[in-house]
Amino acid sequence: MSVNASSPASSRRSVLRASGLAGLVMAGTAVATGSAQAAPAPTGDVLHLDTVTALRALNTHPLKNGTQVLLAGYRTPGDGGGMLLRWNTTSTTPHNGGTVITPATTPKTGRWHQLHNGTLDFRTFGHFDAETPADTALDAMVNDPHVHRIEGHTDLLFTRRHLFDRSHIELDFGGHTLHTTGIEKNTHDNPFGAVLSFRGTVTDTTVEHRLSATVIELTDTFPVPDAKAFAVGQWWAVRVEPVEGGGRDERELQKLVEITEIVDAGHIRIGYLNGWELAEGRTLTWTRIEPVRDTHIRNMAFEGAGPDEYTGSHPVSFEYAVGCDVSGIHATGTFWPVVMRRWCTRFRTEDCSLKNPPTVEYGGAGYLTQQIYCLYGRVADCTTSNVRHLNDLTASAYCTVVNCHGDGDDAGGNPFTTHGQYEHDLLFDGNSGLMDIANSGAQWGISAKRITVRRHVCSWFTANSKITDLTLEDITVIARPTFDQAGTLTVNADGAQVRGCTAKTFAVAQRSARSVRPTTVSDCTFAPPAGAVLVQTPVTTPVHFVRCTFTGVDGAVLRGAGPVHLTDCTVTGTENAAPLSVGSADLRIDGGTYENTGIELSAVRDQRITVTGGARFGGGNKAGALLGRAAGPGTTVWDLTGLISTAPDPATAHIRIADGTNRYAASGSRFTGGTLHLAPDALDSVLHTACVEDGTRREAMPPAGDRVRTDGNLTL
């Protein structure tokens, strides 16, 4: 095209403003005259051409160094690929089609260099669709230290897996689709082989230190052999060697931390409060890291490629990264996690989604996001369909997952999970989908601490490994016939606090006993199936149920030996239900209502049952007794005060003690109808006094004696 020599300066400024490049041209320059084969222009003059093709055809021999060209487009004027370039007569930088353009003759020296304000666009590299791979353009832009923002305004195709160590850059694809058809093969078991992989530099500077004293929990001050090896502001990866006798990856500490203070010659302070105590004699290894910092990836649809670990593709991974956020990625068919993180801190993953990965069976595959050894992360407003995990937090701490929702999990994938590699202080708030905490096997230690889940809806929730101080609030577990018809909620009796929850099947297990706080279940509603074990065999610590409601109970079992306390609970059995079978060494019932159920002590061990606070027993059951015991070897002690028991018919016993050795005391209680059966041969001592027996028949009762008193009662 020709250049109008008579155009006034105002016309030139209008062109520049329209192109968005006005700020890049020096004030006072004039539009050069001539055609595409322009005559030499003074330094600083601006030529106006239509396309890159015209630019490359331009005779550059007469041009002076610094000559500028304004392109109206890349292939056609106005196609979005317009840019401003400057002629550098001595440059030998290789042609990349965007920031560096060579004349068609490709001289040894002389290149057109794009002038920009730090923001670049794939269209200025000639990419307007997903027909031609944009990998070279991506490399050119990311590796240019003068670029701080890269924009995609069309669909794109990538066929290579890119690894960068670039900081302070943002990639925004504008919601367009990234395709990966024909992408190069990944290596074995490599979730970091993403299209966009950012990895900090691991230096060869390491410090190893064997602890001469215990490092307490929740400290940020650590002993080191020589604090001079560290400096404030540096980043280090710190890890302790595996637990002796534990799994090969069982470590309480492995995080990327910042040095915040040199305390003294032998101590440093880091930006992390340690979540687990480290015993004397353990060895810490510190490795200095130069992390990727403040690199963000945003706004894309992503189409995965193949069905396996080699041909499959995924968009993003970060390793040894600080302050790197991801948002607005919506993926389909990715093999490895859509957003994979390891050794990261201070990050956000928001408004992302995944549907239909090629597998939910292969470990590590089919995730939306996984975080390993991570700190201070937030995952929010994300969704998944038909995936293995929406979110996986492994050996991570002080992270939050908010308003995330997973569906299509009938295949057994758990949208929300932790690995059990000593993660701690995690919060899940307002999410939905299956949940499984710290349950990936002994290799990692199956340990977690201070996990809080609130306002969660799902059809299965299990947290029965070594989870200490678990807090559940307003959890709703609804049985789903296509997955878990039992609607299971299971917790570990190690400081668990369960409040305001609803489930069909509830169970308390125990695999650790680290907590100093009680295990309490309050204001919850459960509807256990027949024979459900509410308190499992290994439970030895106290479990306290407060104001809980159990409906449809039939032969439920409290099997563990640990104390069980029920305060103001409502337990309702089905028609002709078996009584509640209790193996606890100490059962305390304080108030509440027990209808059509009753209690039967298993007597597998010595037991004590205490009933107080006006507890009400009524209705019938299959055993024909509201309180009784089995023929086990244990001695049972009965302390009944203020019991209100109403039998439905004359044959039902309020209390039936016919086996074993028993010590019985009842006072201030009311029995209406039915019978009392206290077999003399089964009673070592009896105190039955100050009770009201209203139409109650004493079917069996020991005669008065030194160890038997049955007087002082009111008979109606």
pLDDT > 80? residue 518:
yes
d(CA 65, CA 61): 10
pLDDT tens profile 534-579: 999 999 999 999 999 999 999 999 999 999 999 999 999 999 999 9
Contact 81, 101 (CB under 8 A): no
| Cβ-contact 283, 211 below 8 angstroms | yes
* Tokens describing residue 552: 């449809």
The CATH number assigned to the domain holding 229 equals 2.40.30
Residue 438 lies in a domain: no
* Among 89, 117, 145, residue at a domain's last position: 117
Using only C-alpha atoms, what is the Rg of the chain?
Answer: 36
Same domain for 548 and 688, yes or no, is yes
Same domain? For 243 and 317 the reply is no
C-alpha separations of 123 from 80, 86, 209, 214, 525 in Å: 6, 18, 53, 59, 59
Res 456: pLDDT: 98
Cβ–Cβ < 8 Å for 419, 447? no
Structure tokens at 362: 């292969």
* pLDDT mean over 516-524: 97
Q: Of 270, 290, 310, which residue is a domain's last?
A: 290
Same domain, 532 and 660: yes
Which token pair is 271? 């930006």
pTM for the model stands at 0.91
Residue 465 lies in a domain: no
The letter for the amino acid at 384 is: T
Is residue 585 within 8 Å of residue 608, measured between CB atoms? yes
What digits encode the pLDDT tens for the residues 362-379?
A: 889 999 999 999 999 999
**In a shared domain, residues 607 and 556:** yes
Predicted local confidence at residue 440, as pLDDT: 86
d(CA 477, CA 436): 13
**pLDDT at 630 (0 to 100):** 95
Residue 447 placed within a domain: no
Span 276-286, mean pLDDT? Answer: 98
- Answer whether residue 689 shows pLDDT above 60: yes
* Same domain flag for 189 and 112: no
Residue 269 and residue 180 share a domain: no
Number of structural domains found in the chain? 4
Q: Point out the least confidently predicted range of 18-27, 215-224, 495-504.
A: 18-27
Residue-range definition of the domain harbouring residue 252: 201-290
Residues 208 and 476: their CA atoms lie apart, in Å, by 47
pLDDT band at 704 (very low <50, low <70, confident <90, very high): very high
Q: How high is the mean pLDDT of the chain? A: 93
**Sign of torsion over alpha carbons 29, 30, 33, 36:** positive
Within-domain flag for 98 = yes
Say whether both 543 and 669 belong to one domain: yes
Q: CA separation (Å) from 313 to 136, 464, 584? A: 18, 34, 53
Both 63 and 123 in a single domain?
no
Find the helix or strand (DSSP H, E) in which 370 lies. Answer: strand 367-372
What whole-number distance in Å separates Cα of residue 340 and Cα of residue 333? 15
Express each pLDDT in 314-336 by its tens digit: 999 999 999 999 999 999 999 99
d(Cα 74, Cα 41) in Å, to the nearest integer? Answer: 22
Task: Specify whether 14 is located in the same domain as 135.
Answer: no
Residue 513 reports pLDDT greater than 50: yes
The pLDDT tens digits for 36-81 are 333 344 445 799 999 999 999 999 999 999 999 999 999 999 999 9
> Which of 321, 350, 383 is a domain's end point?
383
Confidence (pLDDT) at 662: 97
The answer on pLDDT for 19 being more than 80 is no
CB 494 within 8 A of CB 469: yes
pLDDT tops 50 at residue 10: no
Q: What is the mean pLDDT of residues 339-344?
A: 98
- Return the pLDDT at 482: 85
**For the residues 286-306, what does the mean pLDDT come to?**
98
What would the mean pLDDT of 145-155 be, rounded to a whole number?
98
| pLDDT at 239 (0 to 100) | 98
CATH number of residue 692's parent domain: 2.160.20
Based on the domain organization, do 622 and 552 belong to the same domain? yes
The answer to the question of residue 454 being in a domain is: no
pLDDT tens-digit map of 21-34: 433 333 323 233 22
Reading the block at residue 330, the tokens are 């919506």
Q: CA 395 to CA 272: how far, in whole Å?
A: 14
Contact 140, 160 (CB under 8 A): no
User: What per-residue confidence (pLDDT) applies to 412?
Assistant: 64
> Is residue 15 pLDDT above 50, yes or no?
no
**Cα 10 off chain centre by:** 58
Cα–Cα dist 308/313, whole Å? 9
Tokens of 80: 């979005």
Q: Could you give the count of Cα atoms lying within 13 Å of 640 in the half-sphere of its Cβ?
A: 29
pLDDT for the residue numbered 392: 96
pLDDT value at 9 more than 80? no
Residues in the chain, total: 716
Q: What is the pLDDT of residues 370-420, one digit of tens each?
A: 999 999 999 999 999 999 999 999 999 999 999 999 999 887 678 999 999
Q: Is 455 domain-assigned?
A: no
Q: What gap in Å lies between CA 666 and CA 683, rounded to an integer? A: 13
215 by Cβ neighbours in 10 Å (0-12 / 13-18 / 19+) ranks as buried
Domain annotation covers residue 493? no
C-alpha distance from residue 476 to each of 431, 435, 462, 689 (Å): 11, 12, 13, 45
In contact, 197 and 163? CB cutoff 8 Å? yes
In a domain, 688, yes or no: yes
Residue 414: what pLDDT?
A: 87
- Asked whether residue 89 falls in the same domain as residue 152, the answer is no
Residue type, position 263, single letter: V
| H-helix segments, 91-134 | none
CA distances from 47 to 33, 50, 101, 215 (A): 8, 10, 16, 69
Q: Verify that 124 and 261 share a domain, yes or no.
A: no
